[in-house]
Amino acid sequence: MSRCSYTGFFTISMDSLHFLCIPVLLFKTMRRYLAAILFLFLLIQSGCVHALPETRRAEKVSVYEEVLPNGLKVILLRDPSAILAVFQIWYYAGSSNEQIGKSGMSHLLEHMMFKGTHKHKEFSRIIKRVGGIDNAGTSRDYAFYYQKLAPENLHLSIELEADRMQNLLIDPEEVESERKVVMEERRLRYEDDPQGLLYEEVVAAAFKNHPYRWPVIGWMSDLKRITRDDLYGYYRRYYVPNNAFIVVAGDIDTERVLEMIKEEFGPIPPGEDIKRTMIEEPPQSGEKRVYLKKEAELPYILIAYKAPNIFNEDSYALDVLAYILSDGRTSRLYRHLVDQRQMAISVGAGYDNLQRYPFLFYLYGTPMPGRDIKELEDALYEEIEEIKKNGPTEREVQKVKNRIEAEFIISQDSIFYQARLIGIFEVLGDWRLKDRYLEGIRRVTAQDVQRVAKKYLTEDNRTVGILIPKGRGSR
Amino acid sequence: MRGSGFLKIVLFVLIFHLSCISTPSYSLDVEREVLDNGLTLLIVERHNLPMVVVTVGIRAGSVLEPPEKAGLSNLTAMLLKAGTRNRTAEQIDEEIEFVGGELESSGGYDYITVGLTILKKDIILGLDLLSDIILNPVFPEGEIKKKIKLIKGSLRASEDDPNFVASKAFIKEVFDGHPYGRLIEGSEESLRGISRDDIIDFHRTYYLPASSIIAIVGDITADEARSLISRYFQIWKPGGPTHPRVPSPPRGRGGRTIVIDKDLTQANIIIGHTGVGRDNPDYYAISVMNYILGGGGFASRLMQKIRDEKGFVYDIYSTFSARKYGGAFEISLQTRNESADEAIEEIMGEIERIREEPVSDRELEDAKSFLTGVFPVRIETSRRIADFLVAVEYYGLGMDYIDKYPEYINSVTKEDVLRVARKYIRPEDLTIVIVGDREKLQTW
| Percent of chain B at pLDDT exceeding 90 | 86
Specify the pLDDT at position B255. Answer: 83
| Domain of A427, in residue numbers | 288-469
Contact between A2 and B3 using a beta-carbon 8 Å cutoff:
yes
Specify the pLDDT at position B361. Answer: 97
Q: What are phi and psi of A300, to 5 degrees?
A: -160, 145
- Looking at the domain assignment, is residue A276 inside a domain? no
Is the CB of residue B417 less than 8 Å from the CB of residue B154?
no
Q: Hey, of A13, A107, A129, which one would you mutate to test binding to chain B, going by the most B CBs within 10 A of its CB?
A: A129
- Looking at the domain assignment, is residue A278 inside a domain? no
pLDDT in tens, B129-177: 999 999 999 999 999 999 999 999 999 999 999 999 999 999 999 998 9
Task: Judge if A409 and A450 occupy the same domain.
Answer: yes
Specify the pLDDT at position A435. Answer: 78
The answer on pLDDT for B15 being more than 80 is no
How does DSSP assign B380-437, residue by residue? -SHHHHHHHHHHHHHTT--TTHHHHHHHHHHT--HHHHHHHHHHH--GGG-EEEEEE-
Task: Please give the single-letter amino acid code of residue A247.
Answer: V
Cα first-last separation, chain A: 36
pLDDT in tens, B155-165: 999 999 999 99
Specify the pLDDT at position B26. Answer: 64
Task: Judge if A161 and A65 occupy the same domain.
Answer: yes
pLDDT in tens, B297-337: 999 999 999 999 999 999 999 999 999 999 999 999 999 99
Domain boundary among A265, A296, A319: A265
3-state secondary structure at position A398: helix
Task: Judge if A303 and A208 occupy the same domain.
Answer: no
A110 is catalytic: yes
Cα–Cα distance measured from residue A343 to residue A340, given in angstroms and rounded to the nearest whole number: 8
Specify the pLDDT at position B242. Answer: 67
- Looking at the domain assignment, is residue A235 inside a domain? yes
Give how far Cα B397 sits from Cα of A93, B17, B151, B344, B402, Å. 47, 11, 34, 36, 9
pLDDT in tens, B194-237: 999 999 999 999 999 999 999 999 999 999 999 999 999 999 99
Chain A partners of B25 at a C-beta cutoff of 8 Å? 150
By DSSP bridging, strand A85-91 and strand A143-149 are antiparallel
More confident residue, B9 or A197: A197
Contact between A19 and B262 using a beta-carbon 8 Å cutoff:
no
- Looking at the domain assignment, is residue A141 inside a domain? yes
Specify the pLDDT at position A44. Answer: 26
State whether residue B153 sits within 8 Å of chain A by CB. Answer: yes
Mean pLDDT of A392-404: 97
DSSP A460: G
Task: Judge if A243 and A379 occupy the same domain.
Answer: no
Q: What are phi and psi of B126, to 5 degrees?
A: -60, -50
Contact between B380 and A84 using a beta-carbon 8 Å cutoff:
yes
CATH of the domain at A134: 3.30.830.10
- Please tell me the least confidently modeled range out of B10-14, B33-37, B155-159, B378-382: B10-14
Q: Which domains does chain B have, with CATH numbers?
A: 4-233 (3.30.830.10), 257-436 (3.30.830.10)
- Looking at the domain assignment, is residue A428 inside a domain? yes
- Looking at the domain assignment, is residue A401 inside a domain? yes
Task: Judge if A231 and A322 occupy the same domain.
Answer: no
Task: Judge if A129 and A251 occupy the same domain.
Answer: yes
- Looking at the domain assignment, is residue A127 inside a domain? yes
ipTM of the complex: 0.90
Smallest Cα–Cα separation from B290: which of B270, B279, B311, B275?
B275
Contact between A298 and B157 using a beta-carbon 8 Å cutoff:
yes
The answer on pLDDT for A23 being more than 50 is no
Specify the pLDDT at position A282. Answer: 93
Domain boundary among A233, A265, A297: A265
Cα–Cα distance measured from residue B135 to residue B208, given in angstroms and rounded to the nearest whole number: 9
Contact between A8 and B101 using a beta-carbon 8 Å cutoff:
no
Q: What are phi and psi of A93, to 5 degrees?
A: -150, 55
| Percent of chain A at pLDDT exceeding 70 | 87
Is the CB of residue B211 less than 8 Å from the CB of residue B59?
yes
pLDDT in tens, A24-49: 222 333 333 333 333 322 222 222 22
- Looking at the domain assignment, is residue A475 inside a domain? no
The answer on pLDDT for B281 being more than 60 is yes
Band (pLDDT 50/70/90 cuts) for residue A279 is: confident
Nearest residue on chain A to B382, judged by CA atoms? A413
Task: Judge if A138 and A242 occupy the same domain.
Answer: yes
pLDDT in tens, B362-383: 999 999 999 999 988 888 899 9
Task: Judge if A235 and A336 occupy the same domain.
Answer: no
Average pLDDT over chain B, rounded to whole? 92
Band (pLDDT 50/70/90 cuts) for residue B240 is: confident
Average pLDDT over chain A, rounded to whole? 87
Mean pLDDT of B260-268: 96
Q: Specify the number of domains making up chain A.
A: 2
Domain boundary among A265, A300, A322: A265
Cα–Cα distance measured from residue A18 to residue A6, given in angstroms and rounded to the nearest whole number: 13
Q: What is the 3-state secondary structure (H, E, C) of A140-153?
A: CCCEEEEEEECHHH
Beta bridge partners of A145: A89, A136
Cα–Cα distance measured from residue A348 to residue A333, given in angstroms and rounded to the nearest whole number: 7
Specify the pLDDT at position B218. Answer: 97
Band (pLDDT 50/70/90 cuts) for residue B443 is: low
Task: Judge if A242 and A364 occupy the same domain.
Answer: no
3-state secondary structure at position A175: helix
Query: Which of these is catalytic: A54, A98, A110, A200?
Result: A110
Specify the pLDDT at position B4. Answer: 39
Mean pLDDT of A268-296: 93
Helices (H), A143-297: 154-166, 172-186, 194-206, 220-225, 228-238, 254-265
Beta bridge partners of A85: A149, A250
State whether residue B372 sits within 8 Å of chain A by CB. Answer: yes
State whether residue B29 sits within 8 Å of chain A by CB. Answer: no
Task: Judge if A91 and A189 occupy the same domain.
Answer: yes
Task: Judge if A252 and A295 occupy the same domain.
Answer: no
Task: Judge if A247 and A341 occupy the same domain.
Answer: no
